[in-house]
Copies of this chain bind each other. A is one copy, B any other.
Amino acid sequence: MILKFIILSFYIISSVNALWPLPQYWEKGSKTLLISSDFSLKQTPETGSLLNTKTKKILESAKKRLLKFITFENYTTSPNVNPIVPKSIDKSNLLRVLIISVTTDISELELGVDESYELTIPESQIDNDPITAHLKAKTIFGVLHGLNTFSQLYYYKNSKLLLPFAPHHIKDFPRFSHRGLLLDTARNYFPVKDILKTLDVMSWNKFNVFHWHIVDATSWPVVSESFPELSNKGSYDPINMVYTKDDIKKVIEYAYLRGIRIIPEFDMPGHTHSIAESMPEIMTCIDVQPNWSNFSAEPPSGQLNPALDQTYTFLHILLPELTSYFTDKYYHAGGDEVNLHCWNTTPSITEYLNKNPNSSLETLLAKFINETHQIVRNSGKLPITWQEMIVDHNLTLKNDTLVQVWTNKDVVKNVVSKGYRVVTGSSDFWYLDCGHGGWLGNNTNGNSWCDPFKTWQKIYSYNPIDGLTDQEAELVIGGEVLLWSEQADRTNLEVLLWPRSSAAAEVLWSGPYDTSKKIRTPDRDALARLTDWRFRMVERGVNAEPLQPLWCARTGRCNMPY
């Protein structure tokens, strides 16, 4: 008897759409429509005449992608949604058209561009017309998000494409305007095609910034026309493991068509050992062994020498060239983990300090940062810096400088209290590389400072504005998940990124609060949906990790109450 009672008291798992990230506002019904085999995407005549060459190209490319999904995506494995196939198929349940309307022809994809959209899918015909969905947005970038949302609403079953829960009414907009993913392509190299695929998956998750940590101490894969030796000597392979100007252009264009900005990072003055492969004369503490740890956070050590005129001569040629390769308004100038002990043990620097009695290591650092930032500004860009410049070195930078925080919430508070805008992503929550142990070979137990692995639940629980006042929170323009690539390359890229980055994507788009202002938790609000979204990503060819046994994913009967 006891058993019977217990057996009957199982959870009722409600069928849910797998929308991920969850829209800000979503009303839905209970009717299942079918997507017609002649389903088409149209735009209003006003939209057609409004769009310019650029926005038209974005629209055509997005339409093509959606139709390709509709044609080829056989998402039969949805664990949580199992719509009933309607008995008869006729005009009363066939969705035949999605009409797109855009009200501006803004084509510049910049921080804060309007990304909102409204998607309406009725449950029945009006005046005997075919059932018609409507997508409205102020900009073409909102349209992109709307189409991606639409692409998560249907399921393939019995050779039919079912769209359950009609009518739908979705009004959606992002919580944060900077929703980024950092990929480090210097510690290990990633082929361009892997970057492009990453951009695809990012766009489905409504990320809008690819932070391209493109060079570092270990390699310099960017081909410079002014200094070809940088990559000839500093890349892992000057033929097969570099990014040419054309590669970069291709990446930017591909990202633009998907509503993603490319922000490059050329980290300086630390993390620059790869420059020493071709220009040792402007570098110092080059690959110190075995005590590199006194000179840098990781091997190989090496920093630009800020006391030499030729360092600046070099940067005045190189940085304008590099900035010209990229189209975004922002340029990440690096600035993390500068090692002052390195400079303090460099003869030419101590000599400089002796000659200039008002100078110090800190004024030298300030000089370097100010000068490089000025070059960036002269190139028409705004600089981004890592937090250290503000909180460790107490530099006073122009307050339109964007500051990226990678440690904890106290640092976020510190930086915004100084009036800077912040992009955040804590190593305790959003470092996707952690948890694979040390890679220096000096620890039999394999521990690493950034253990443990950041589970999707941990990632989902991160609040970028934790502990801030509303006023302070306004200065946090967004966040980034970060994949440093000491132990990552193309072999494990997708497994490390997905679906964990999706958890961050929802925090940045509409999380972590639900409509009743309660913090969403993994168990109550996310697991079933994320599982479903993960299966759809797999169906689209992404090696996203499974979250549960398939039995659990299908039944929801392993989800313990929190």
Per-residue contact bits, chain A 59-103, to B (CB 8 Å; 1 contact, 0 not): 000000000000000000000000000000000000000000000
Q: Does A126 contact B (CB under 8 A)?
A: no
Q: Which of A330-338, A360-368, A387-395, A444-452 contacts B (4 or more CB under 8 A)?
A: A444-452
A234 to chain B, nearest CB (A): 10
A218, B461: Cβ atoms closer than 8 Å: no
Q: Is there contact, CB below 8 Å, between B547 and A439?
A: yes
Asked if A408 is an interface residue, CB under 8 A from chain B, the answer is no
Is A435's beta carbon under 8 Å from chain B? yes
Identify which of residues 391-441 in chain A touch chain B, using a CB-to-CB cut-off of 8 Å: 435-441
* Chain B residues, Cβ within 8 Å of A543: 491-492
Given known contacts A6-B291, A558-B440, A550 and B445 CB-to-CB distance under 8 angstroms: no
Knowing A345-B2, A453-B452, A458-B446, the reply to whether A492 touches B491 (Cβ < 8 A) is no
Q: Tell me the nearest residue of chain B to A241, going by C-beta.
A: B550
Point out the residues of chain B lying under 8 angstroms from A457, CB to CB.
437-438, 443-446
User: Does A475 lie at the interface of the complex (its beta carbon under 8 Å from any beta carbon of B)?
Assistant: no
Nearest-Cβ distance from residue A445 to partner chain B, whole angstroms = 6
With an 8 Å Cβ cutoff, the count of chain A residues facing the other chain is 79
Identify A188's interface contact among B441, B451, B452, B550, CB under 8 A: B550
Is residue A288 contacting chain B, with contact meaning CB distance below 8 A? yes
Is A187 on the interface with B (CB-CB < 8 A)? yes
Task: Say if the beta carbon of A224 comes within 8 Å of chain B.
Answer: no
A436 & B550 in contact (Cβ 8 Å cutoff): no
Given contacts A11-B290, A455-B437, A558-B439, contact A486 B548 (CB under 8 A): yes
Q: Which residue of B lies closest to A498 (CB)?
A: B491
In contact, A544 and B442 (Cβ under 8 angstroms)? no
Which B-chain residue is minimally distant from A459 (CB atoms)? B446
Q: A6-B288, A451-B452, A546-B491 are in contact. Are A523 and B442 (CB under 8 A)?
A: yes
Establish whether residues A458 and B445, one from each chain, have CB atoms under 8 Å apart when the complex forms: yes
- In contact, A552 and B453 (Cβ under 8 angstroms): no
Given contacts A218-B551, A558-B441, contact A456 B446 (CB under 8 A): yes
In Å, the complex CA distance between A455 and B448 comes to: 10
Cβ-closest chain B residue relative to A439: B548
B458→A7 contact, CB < 8 A: no
Count of identical protomers in the assembly: 2
* Pair B549/A187 contact, Cβ less than 8 Å: yes
Assess whether A495 is interfacial by the CB under 8 Å rule. Answer: yes
Counting CB contacts under 8 A, is A300 at the interface?
A: yes
Given contacts A442-B559, A444-B521, A558-B299, contact A551 B236 (CB under 8 A): yes
Q: Which residue of B lies closest to A544 (CB)?
A: B491
> In the complex, which residues of chain B have a beta carbon less than 8 angstroms from the beta carbon of A559?
440-442
The docked-state distance in angstroms from the alpha carbon of A349 to that of B436 is: 47
Interface residues of A in 1-49 (CB under 8 A from B): 2-3, 6-7, 9-11
A231 close to B (CB within 8 Å): no
The chain B residue with its CB closest to the CB of A523 is B441
From B3, B290, B436, B551, A455 is in contact (CB under 8 Å) with B436
Q: Residue of B at shortest CB range from A7?
A: B288
Measured between alpha carbons, how far is A217 from B218 in the docked complex, in Å? Answer: 48
A333 CA to B9 CA in the complex, in Å?
33
How distant is the Cα of A440 from the Cα of B451 in the complex, in angstroms?
22
What are 17 A-B contacts defined by CB distance under 8 Å? Answer: A3-B346, A6-B289, A300-B558, A436-B455, A436-B545, A438-B457, A441-B560, A442-B560, A445-B455, A445-B457, A445-B461, A451-B452, A452-B452, A485-B549, A487-B546, A489-B550, A491-B494
Known: A444-B523, A491-B495. 19 other contacts (CB 8 A): A3-B284, A3-B288, A11-B290, A218-B549, A219-B550, A300-B558, A435-B453, A437-B453, A437-B458, A439-B548, A440-B558, A441-B527, A443-B457, A444-B521, A451-B452, A486-B549, A491-B494, A491-B543, A491-B545
What 9 A-B pairs come out closest when comparing CB atoms?
A: A446-B455, A437-B455, A10-B289, A446-B457, A442-B560, A441-B523, A218-B551, A187-B549, A441-B559
